């Protein structure tokens, strides 16, 4: 079955991943054949939050396919600044575009948007929650550099609580055999409960490691993340950041103790947690990762912009009870209640 939206990585199954990756490979090999593949199609790019790679790579992807892009990177330039609701903004934008890509500080906003959009919605990051197209870039990088994805020990290091890229990455890893995960994070930045539950439910063996230096020698893939200072409800004391960085920074010296075929990933931007000297090591793949991100997004846009429009409206509105202050339901009060089978909020995944 075709998917209509990409909100979390649960929307991608192994068959869909294979089909996207195959298309991505073909685009990389024969880019000229795809130069007009989206001619006449428009991507709406709604960025309520800062972005460099994700926004630019989506724009570049659509332009390379011969399509057009409109949108904003500063919501103050739109009627949102006058108090327009997310639902109305999306409903109207969908009538102008063939696909919507959006990034918001509120968790669950893309899921909410999809309820009101007649065209596909792609989640380009919703608060500290999910960022599934980054995961597509991560998987593409692993497949391109290692030839396959399964049978590896993967270290996830840094801010696993608010670093939204690691959450869908874990869901994605669950699709492949022989994956072990090593969680390398300070107590205050540990993986959220719903991701821990997912690892248990899907039978992914996982361990916790106190420091990067201790773990690095056992890893095949090391996924670094920055501390997401902007997501701390009451700010994060800079002395704590310095203390954390001293134990969770990847140095050229650490690389000497790592496997010869280690793959180092980072969604970027980095803010001190990967020493610049590591860039010269051929095992550092984070800049390639950003480049592959554009090609896999081309594959996604090709699939999504060719889907027929479908009218979508929730049958009833109002009544959501989530207490997460950054859940989209905290500002968009009209949204219908959504609950996961585990009893979590269907927008942000927090326990209700």
To ligand NCD, the closest distance from the beta carbon of 220 in angstroms equals 22
β pairing state of 221-224 and 153-157:
parallel
CB 182 within 8 A of CB 159: no
Binds ligand NCD by CB under 6 A, chosen from 16, 25, 53, 283: 53
To ligand NCD, the closest distance from the beta carbon of 268 in angstroms equals 5
The binding track of 253-282 with respect to ligand NCD, each residue x by CB under 6 A or -, is --------------xx--------------
- Cβ proximity to ligand NCD: between 70 and 287 the closer is 287
To ligand NCD, the closest distance from the beta carbon of 226 in angstroms equals 5
Binds ligand NCD by CB under 6 A, chosen from 45, 54, 141, 330: 54
Alpha helices (H) along the chain:
14-29, 53-64, 86-96, 109-114, 132-146, 166-173, 193-201, 212-215, 238-247, 252-256, 286-304
CB 219 within 8 A of CB 259: yes
Greatest distance between any 2 Cα atoms in the chain: 59
Which of 252, 253, 223 lies closest to 153 in space, CA to CA? 223
Binds ligand NCD by CB under 6 A, chosen from 4, 41, 164, 167: 164
What are the distances in angstroms from CA 261 to CA 97, 145, 161, 229, 274? 43, 10, 28, 32, 18
165 touching ligand NCD, by CB under 6 A = yes
- Cβ proximity to ligand NCD: between 93 and 133 the closer is 133
8 touching ligand NCD, by CB under 6 A = no
Task: Report residue 229 as tokens.
Answer: 């200072």
Binds ligand NCD by CB under 6 A, chosen from 67, 108, 120, 125: 125
Binds ligand NCD by CB under 6 A, chosen from 59, 104, 134, 305: 134
To ligand NCD, the closest distance from the beta carbon of 319 in angstroms equals 31
DSSP letters along 272-284, please? SSB-GGGGGSTTB
To ligand NCD, the closest distance from the beta carbon of 257 in angstroms equals 25
To ligand NCD, the closest distance from the beta carbon of 169 in angstroms equals 11
What are the distances in angstroms from CA 133 to CA 11, 158, 187, 232? 11, 20, 28, 24
106 touching ligand NCD, by CB under 6 A = no
**Distance from C-alpha of 75 to C-alpha of 93, rounded to nearest angstrom:** 13
Site for ligand NCD in 190-249 (CB under 6 A): 226
123 touching ligand NCD, by CB under 6 A = no
Spell out the residues 6+ positions from residue 235 whose beta carbon is closer than 8 angstroms to its own.
229
**Distance from C-alpha of 170 to C-alpha of 331, rounded to nearest angstrom:** 29
- Cβ proximity to ligand NCD: between 257 and 272 the closer is 272
- The DSSP symbol for 120 reads -
To ligand NCD, the closest distance from the beta carbon of 111 in angstroms equals 17
To ligand NCD, the closest distance from the beta carbon of 52 in angstroms equals 8
- Cβ proximity to ligand NCD: between 171 and 320 the closer is 171
Bridge partner list, 130: 126
Among all residues, whose Cβ is closest to ligand NCD?
267
**Distance from C-alpha of 312 to C-alpha of 118, rounded to nearest angstrom:** 6
Determine whether 72 is exposed, middle or buried from the number of CB atoms within 10 Å of its CB (0-12, 13-18, 19+): middle
To ligand NCD, the closest distance from the beta carbon of 2 in angstroms equals 25
131 touching ligand NCD, by CB under 6 A = yes
Q: Which residues contact ligand NCD by CB under 6 A?
A: 53-54, 125, 131, 134, 164-165, 226, 267-268
């Amino acid at each position: 079955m075709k998917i209509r939206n990409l909100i979390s990585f649960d929307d991608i199954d192994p068959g869909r991943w294979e089909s996207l990756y195959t298309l991505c490979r073909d685009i990389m090999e024969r880019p000229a054949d795809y130069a007009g593949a989206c001619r006449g199609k428009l991507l709406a790019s709604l960025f309520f939050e800062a972005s460099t790679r994700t926004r630019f790579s989506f724009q570049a992807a659509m332009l390379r396919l011969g399509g057009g892009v409109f949108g904003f990177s500063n919501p103050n330039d739109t009627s949102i600044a006058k108090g327009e609701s997310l639902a109305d903004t999306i409903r109207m934008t969908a009538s102008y575009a063939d696909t919507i890509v959006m990034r918001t500080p509120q968790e669950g906003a893309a899921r909410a948007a999809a309820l009101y959009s007649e065209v596909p919605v792609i989640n380009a990051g919703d608060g500290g929650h999910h960022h599934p197209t980054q995961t597509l870039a991560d998987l593409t990088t692993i497949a391109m550099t290692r030839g396959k994805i399964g049978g590896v020990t993967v270290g996830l290091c840094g801010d696993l609580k608010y670093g939204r890229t690691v959450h869908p990455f874990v869901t994605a890893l669950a699709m492949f055999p022989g994956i072990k995960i090593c969680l390398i994070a300070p107590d205050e930045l540990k993986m959220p409960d719903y991701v821990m539950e997912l690892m248990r439910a899907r039978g992914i063996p996982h361990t916790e490691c106190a420091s990067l230096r201790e773990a690095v020698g056992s890893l095949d893939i090391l996924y670094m993340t920055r501390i997401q200072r902007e997501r701390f409800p009451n700010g994060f004391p800079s002395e704590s950041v310095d203390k954390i960085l001293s134990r969770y920074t990847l140095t050229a010296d650490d690389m000497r103790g790592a496997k010869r075929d280690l793959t180092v990933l980072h969604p970027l931007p980095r803010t001190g947690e990967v020493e610049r000297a590591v860039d010269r090591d051929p095992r550092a793949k984070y800049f390639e990762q950003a480049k592959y991100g554009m090609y896999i997004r081309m594959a996604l846009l090709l699939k999504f912009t060719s889907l027929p429009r479908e009218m979508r409206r929730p049958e009833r509105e109002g009544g959501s009870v989530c207490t997460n202050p950054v859940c989209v339901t905290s500002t968009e009060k009209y949204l219908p209640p959504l609950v996961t089978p585990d009893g979590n909020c269907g927008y942000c995944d927090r326990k209700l």
